[in-house]
């Protein structure tokens, strides 16, 4: 299959066009970091809530942040054509048509920017892996933001879709879970899927596991807070599951995790018994 490139990209580019595209890519990477800072500090939410333009002083006061840093961040957002600025009044605002993509909700895009600082946390370790005498890989412990990021990105999606659109789309699955079965949640992260299902299907028993100690600790705390007796979690690697698990669980769930495993084929064989 031939993959068609956009016109003017690749071999069709002249040197100046290639250099321009490369510089835009580098600049976009830096802009993504600035966007992530805005997400983490609630600045997009503050701007989206305003009914009219505000100065950097006003925005900083509402957000409870230092004005000097907010002003620099706003400058980056203006240069990136994300936030608009009235240069005479030195006021900033987000056009209404852009707000759905910049604030919490089903159309939020800026939340994905958190992936950039997340990956940068292990930059040196990944670089070392390239070397012939370097390590074979980087452990998840070197990505301390990973669990929070994944939970943030998937929680709202599962709240909207897990019961209504996913479980209900399989014939007989709702009835099976209502009757009471053992369910394995592979790569459960912070356990939100198991917790949602445990609340909806009290007769079934849900067991989640993940390689992340932080993720499992969070899942246990949330389950305990909700007083769920049919939901448990443990730290474990999918490559070393007990053999009897393949027969124990009537249903195996794996959401957005298999592609992240070091040995996906072997891991799948472990929990499917194939």
108/202 same-domain check:
no
pTM for this one?
0.79
205/259 same-domain check:
yes
**At 30, which CATH number?**
1.10.10.10
Q: Is residue 215 part of a domain?
A: yes
Q: Is residue 101 part of a domain?
A: yes
Beta strands 231-235 and 251-254 are unpaired
Residue 132, SS3 per DSSP: coil
Asked if residues 71 and 55 have their Cβ atoms less than 8 Å apart, the reply is no
Q: Is residue 54 part of a domain?
A: yes
Q: Is residue 170 part of a domain?
A: yes
Per-residue pLDDT, averaged over 212-241, amounts to: 96
CA distances from 65 to 38, 62, 73, 123, 255 (A): 11, 8, 11, 29, 37
- Helix or strand (DSSP H, E) at 160: helix 146-161
Burial 167-184 (b: 16+ CB within 10 A, else e): beeeeeeeebbeeebebb
Burial 227-261 (b: 16+ CB within 10 A, else e): ebebbbbeebebeebeeebbeebebbbbbebeeeb
Q: What is the pLDDT of residues 120-166, one digit of tens each?
A: 999 999 999 999 999 999 988 899 899 999 998 899 889 999 999 99
Residue 2: pLDDT over 60: no
165/61 same-domain check:
no
108/40 same-domain check:
yes
Q: Is residue 173 part of a domain?
A: yes
85/185 same-domain check:
no
Count of the separate structural domains present in the chain:
2
Q: What is the residue range of 172's domain?
A: 156-272
Look up tokens 């989640």; give the residue: 208
Q: What is the pLDDT of residues 162-206, one digit of tens each?
A: 999 999 999 999 999 999 999 999 999 999 999 999 999 999 999
Asked if residues 34 and 80 have their Cβ atoms less than 8 Å apart, the reply is yes
Asked if residues 247 and 227 have their Cβ atoms less than 8 Å apart, the reply is no
162/89 same-domain check:
no
Residue 1: pLDDT over 60: no
**At 177, which CATH number?**
3.40.50.150
């Amino acid at each position: 299959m031939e993959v068609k490139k956009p016109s003017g990209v690749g071999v069709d580019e002249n040197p100046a066009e290639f250099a321009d595209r490369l510089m835009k890519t580098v600049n976009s990477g830096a802009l993504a970091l600035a966007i992530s800072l805005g997400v983490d500090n609630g600045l997009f939410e503050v701007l989206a809530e305003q009914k009219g333009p505000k100065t950097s002083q006003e925005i900083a006061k509402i957000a409870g942040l230092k004005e000097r840093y907010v002003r620099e961040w706003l400058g980056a957002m203006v240069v990136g054509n994300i936030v608009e600025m009235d240069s005479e009044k030195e006021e900033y605002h987000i056009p209404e048509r852009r707000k759905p993509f910049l604030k919490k909700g089903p159309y939020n895009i800026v939340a994905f920017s958190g992936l950039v600082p997340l990956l940068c946390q292990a930059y040196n370790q990944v670089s070392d892996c390239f070397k012939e005498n370097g390590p074979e890989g980087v452990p998840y412990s070197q990505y301390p933001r990973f669990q929070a990021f994944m939970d943030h990105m998937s929680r709202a999606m599962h709240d909207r879709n897990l019961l209504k659109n996913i479980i209900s789309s399989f014939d007989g699955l709702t009835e099976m879970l209502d009757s009471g079965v053992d369910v394995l949640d592979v790569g459960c992260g912070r356990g939100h899927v198991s917790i949602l299902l445990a609340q909806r299907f009290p007769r079934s028993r849900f067991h989640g596991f993940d390689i992340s100690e932080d993720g499992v600790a969070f899942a246990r705390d949330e389950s305990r807070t909700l007083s769920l007796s049919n939901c448990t979690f443990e730290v474990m690697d999918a490559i070393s599951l007990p053999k009897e698990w393949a027969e124990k669980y009537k249903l195996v769930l794996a959401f957005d995790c298999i592609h992240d495993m070091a040995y996906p084929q072997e891991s799948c064989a472990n929990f499917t018994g194939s």
